[in-house]
Structure formats: structure tokens, C-alpha cells
Amino acid sequence: MDTINRSALVVKPAQLFLDWLHRVDPTSAHLTLDDLRLEPTIYLLPEWETNEEALEHLAELSDEIFEEQLNGWYRVPSVWPEKRDLNAFLQWFECSFHSMVIDVCDERLRHTDM
């Protein structure tokens, strides 16, 4: 096992996200917050020493992550919220930072573009 030079950010939709989804997509009416949180997305970030540093990394990427989360549930950018800065992100998503990332696989990491 090896530690890797990354930290992790776990992102789960919050109530504002669910409320938005219900408004824009009538087919989502049956979904609950628990449904949306079943398999959260994990993002690898640069290593950080303090919570402030972790938030700085998130601030740089919050718009991009916000868009990816929106696109994962409803692919119509015209109905996405206009304000997607860090403050909005923290209201729409529940996040947890993790400073230790351990690779338990023997295979080399592969990067693929999304």
C-alpha cells in the first residue's frame, strides 16, 4: 500500500440541490436526498496542510465541480443556477475533506479525460 500525494473531497448533494432538481425535472419527483447521496463523487485534490488550504483548493475548482454535479443529474445548462461560486457550492453540497489517500492496488494509476 502506498499513500499518494493527493487529498480527497467527497461531495454529496444537499437539500438545495434536491429542491432544484425537483423543480427542473418532473421525472425526479420520486427521488430523495438519500437517493442522491447513495454514491457520492470523490475528487482528488492537491495535498493540503490546513482546512483553509483545502477550502482554497475547493474555491479554485468549485465552479467546475458544481457544473459536473449538475450535469450528472440534469443536462440542460440553461436551467442551472447562475451563481456557482464557493459560497453557493457549500450551500448546494455537503463536503468532507480527507487528507490521507492510500492506494491499495498494484496497478499503475490511469488517467482518462471525461
Name the 3-class secondary structure at 82. Answer: coil
- pLDDT(109) > 90: no
Specify the pLDDT at position 111: 86
Please write the tens of the pLDDT for every residue from 25-71: 999 999 999 999 999 999 999 999 999 999 999 999 999 999 999 99
**Structure pTM?**
0.91
Q: Are 84 and 61 in contact (CB under 8 A)?
A: no
Closest CA to 72 of 96, 39, 109: 39
pLDDT at 108: 86
Cα atoms found within 13 Å of the Cα of residue 76, Cβ hemisphere only: 8
